[in-house]
Amino acid sequence: MNVVIIDYKAGNTRSVQFALARLGVAAQLRQEAAIIQAADRVIFPGVGAAGWAMEQLAARGLTAVIPALQQPVLGICLGMQLLCAHSEEGAVPGLGVFPTTVRALQPTPLYNVPHVGWNTLAGRQDSPLLKDIPNGSSFYFVHSYAVPTTDYTSAEAVHGSTFSAMLERDNFYATQFHPEKSGALGAKILENFMQLKD
């Protein structure tokens, strides 16, 4: 299987690549549009600021390429947020796959921002990425912005307020948490993604 991790200098690409290697998947780090379009699976990770990340995508000619992909695509953390229509972080437009706005998490006396650490999925729907994942499972989060729950939310988490831990629309899947940093259950998420039917 030809798996490509989008390399736009704004992602935790190596840790995702290593996590896939542990599953026996040799993923390429590539930024060329034609190679990304020809892949069987595309992973779109991200860390850092939304505005800067969108500039990196634009510089590589990928802002129109990514939303038009037809194969299974997995956005991770900032990658999930960039797949949305807009972000409050820098007031920047996103790629528009998910028609929603990314909002800033609000700190409370009990909940710090950024949200860093393990958190359970508070609510979930029937998602192929969650096959054989027990209810109440925990995953590793690191973020200050989040997507409110929408019609495309396939799993929720709570940190002060409820937010989308996972999104799905057609061939696009996304996790706010980091499966590559979430141990055996995170590895199962990646394995389930690899086993999706085209």
User: Catalytic site residues?
Assistant: 77, 178, 180
What stretch of H or E contains 140?
strand 138-143
Tokens representing 174 are 């996304």
> Measured between alpha carbons, how far is 178 from 86 in angstroms, rounded to an integer?
21
CA 165 vs CA 26, 29, 110, 162, 174: distances in Å:
27, 25, 20, 9, 8
> Measured between alpha carbons, how far is 57 from 80 in angstroms, rounded to an integer?
14
> Measured between alpha carbons, how far is 8 from 60 in angstroms, rounded to an integer?
8
Is residue 181 within 8 Å of 153, Cβ to Cβ?
no
- Tell which residue, 2, 29, 3, 1, has the closest CA to residue 15: 29
The torsion angles phi and psi of 59, rounded to 5 degrees, stand at: -65, -25
Number of Cβ within 10 Å of residue 135's Cβ equals: 9
